[in-house]
Amino acid sequence: MTMKKVVLLSAVLLAISAMTTNAQEAAPASEAAPEAAEVVTDAAAEEATATEAAADEAAAAADPIPEDSDQVKKLIALYPNLVSRIAPYGKVCFDGEECDINITVLAPAVEGQARDGESLYKAICATCHDSGLVGAPKVGNAGDWSARIAKGTATLYDHAINGFNAMPARGGADISDEEVQNAVDYMVEKSS
């Protein structure tokens, strides 16, 4: 065990002595010509500045578009819906900018009259029932609606008015019971 320590210690000492000799050899060369080094560094700094400016201009003029790696290409080939699945869900639009979001605004209710089911569906219910968000039955899909319709319209009305599972009461909107029933009737009609 002690022999290993002696060999290791000698290797460390050899490395330290090599480092100190290299440092001593470099020191006299730098002390010999400090003025020449300053002139060279000024010229080098000017050249470096000019080179950096040219490189920045060239990079700005032709920014290359990064190419997908082979692994990414394979994933896209294997899973064609991958890109659409990981696309951002929402979009932020700022005032004054053009935005391609389609917003359906619900017309105000006339005093004493309930709005029709189609306009209520498009403005409130379509958010979840068009895509099946959070388990909502898709409108137009008889398979999603058949078991629900079999329970009767009274149950459908109750679940829509008071909320059920992930569905908020009245779809999260401030609408009357009659308007909720109109929207439910419209969805059932489209899904039967």
CA atoms of 57 and 62, how far apart (whole Å): 9
CA atoms within 13 A on the CB side of 153: 11
Report phi then psi at 71, rounded to 5.
-65, -40
Query: What token pair was written down for 189?
Result: 């009609």
CA atoms of 70 and 11, how far apart (whole Å): 46
Residue 121 per-residue DSSP state = I
The confidence band for 60, taking pLDDT boundaries of 50, 70 and 90, is low
Residue 49: predicted pLDDT: 65
Residue 48: predicted pLDDT: 60
pLDDT digits (tens, 9 = 90+) for 157-170: 999 999 998 899 99
Closest CA to 129 of 162, 100, 168: 168
Domains delineated in the chain: 117-191 (1.10.760.10)
Q: Enter the pTM of the model.
A: 0.48
pLDDT digits (tens, 9 = 90+) for 101-131: 666 667 777 787 888 999 999 888 988 898 8
Q: What dihedral angle (degrees, nearest 10) is formed by the CA atoms of 73, 88, 104, 118?
A: 70
b/e code 70-102 from CB counts within 10 Å (16+ = b): eeeeeeeeeeeeeeeeeeeeeeeeeeeeeeeee
The confidence band for 150, taking pLDDT boundaries of 50, 70 and 90, is very high
pLDDT digits (tens, 9 = 90+) for 3-41: 666 656 666 666 676 666 666 666 655 554 445 444 445
